[in-house]
Amino acid sequence: MEEHCIDDFLRVRDDWLTRLKILRAGHGSSLFPSETQVISFTEYLVSGQRNDTDPKMKNGSWAIPLDLHMPSDARVDFAYFPTHIAVAWLVLAAEMFPLLARRIKGFDSALRAGLRFSSLKNFQGHGYDSNRESLVAVNLLALGKVFSYVRKRRDSFMRFWEAMNRLEFDIVHRYPHDDGWTSTDALERQRALALLRGGDALDSRIVPDIHREWRDCQFRAYSNHIITILAKRYAETAVKPLADACLASLDTARSAFDSIEKPSVFLSKYWRIVESEDLFCVKLPSLRGFIAEVIDQASYLEWLPSYSEYQFLHSSRNEIEHSTYEALQTALCDSGVMCNEEYNPIISSLAVGETGEVSITIKVKG
């Protein structure tokens, strides 16, 4: 498989997974699909089930690549995982929209074949990752409440039921003793057991994880937006007291620069840049008020809890320090505070304290 194809396959698989997560946990949001959208994607999956793969691969999968000449690890990623996702969607869609299965031709046979294919390897992965990938398979199927669905209909899906029991036995008796490359996390094993035993039907076990994932993803985008605006506004206000502090220490800075040994020859086409040691520290106003102002003006993001300036400061302090450093350094250079000197002040370090106070260390270079 060519590299660009693999990226395409991943995009398809991740798109299916996102749709499944939204169907399971997106109630009350603008993202939650309408019944028409659910029917449309379900029809797409039913019509797209692979019944052209035997004898290279059993029929009934949702293998994404048309060409099945791929290594076993790729089959896990691009045949079994997509099948787990598709099966989970079909079960969840049927449970949430009971009339849907009757309206879509071939739904029952597609689900039955998908469940059979999904269980062919007893949910195992490949090679050293086999154990870990089996736990991933459990999480994917649990999004659709597949284990609870099969438990109620075990006589109709005996192959899947037996695979569930076999995996449960392995998780309890074999996985804890596997170490090295094949080791698995104890908490992940506990979670998988709970899901296999019917915990997949509990939103309290499934939905918070999805919301947390969305919240974290959205918070990163939200915080980056806030921090960019924050750093710019803070620099506009703080650059004057910073420049004043530099001017007040002009004699100290000049003496420090004059004492640096400087090269007397050209290196390439440029003079060598020289820097002094740290000269002095400047205390600047707190960021807290600026954070509160920017947060108040920012648009609210779905599934994102409101953050106080204190919470935001502590959750994003490293990013705030970096952006504020860059913005203040640019503003200080643009201020021309030492335009008549042969050196420039530069910020050696910037630290944000517990309550948002900003401490800056200055040195000079030229």
pLDDT (tens digit, 9 = 90+) per residue, 9-51? 999 999 999 999 999 998 877 789 999 999 999 999 999 999 9
Whether residue 182 contacts residue 174, with contact meaning beta carbons closer than 8 Å, is answered with no
Q: What is the pLDDT of residues 270-301, one digit of tens each?
A: 456 788 888 889 999 999 999 988 888 876 56
Determine the pLDDT at residue 302: 62
For residues 185 and 145, is the Cβ–Cβ distance under 8 A?
no
Lowest mean per-residue pLDDT among 179-188, 262-271, 302-311? 262-271
How would you class 259 by CB atoms within 10 Å of its CB: exposed for 0-12, middle for 13-18, buried for 19 or more? exposed
Span of 133-147, 188-202, 217-231 with lowest mean pLDDT: 217-231
DSSP assignment of 323-349 equals HHHHHHHHHHHHHTTTTTSSSEEEEEE
* pLDDT exceeds 90 at position 61: yes
The answer to whether 276 and 346 have CB atoms below 8 angstroms apart is no
Average pLDDT over residues 210-238: 88
Mean pLDDT (the chain, rounded): 89
Has residue 268 got a pLDDT over 50? no
The residue-averaged pLDDT of 99-112 equals 92
Token readout for 319 is 């990013």
- Of 159-168, 260-269, 273-282, 340-349, give the range with the top mean pLDDT: 159-168
Give the mean model confidence (pLDDT) for residues 342-351. 89
Confidence (pLDDT) at 2: 47
Residues 6+ apart with CB under 8 A from 144: 20, 24, 87, 88, 89, 90, 91, 92, 200
Residue 178, SS3 per DSSP: coil
Question: For residue range 146-197, what is the model confidence (pLDDT) as tens digits?
Answer: 999 999 999 999 999 999 999 999 999 999 999 888 899 999 999 999 999 9
The Cα–Cα gap between 198 and 210 comes to 18
Q: pTM for this structure?
A: 0.71
Average pLDDT score over residue span 207-214: 88
With a cut of 90, say whether residue 143 has pLDDT above it: yes
Q: Does the pLDDT at position 90 exceed 90?
A: yes
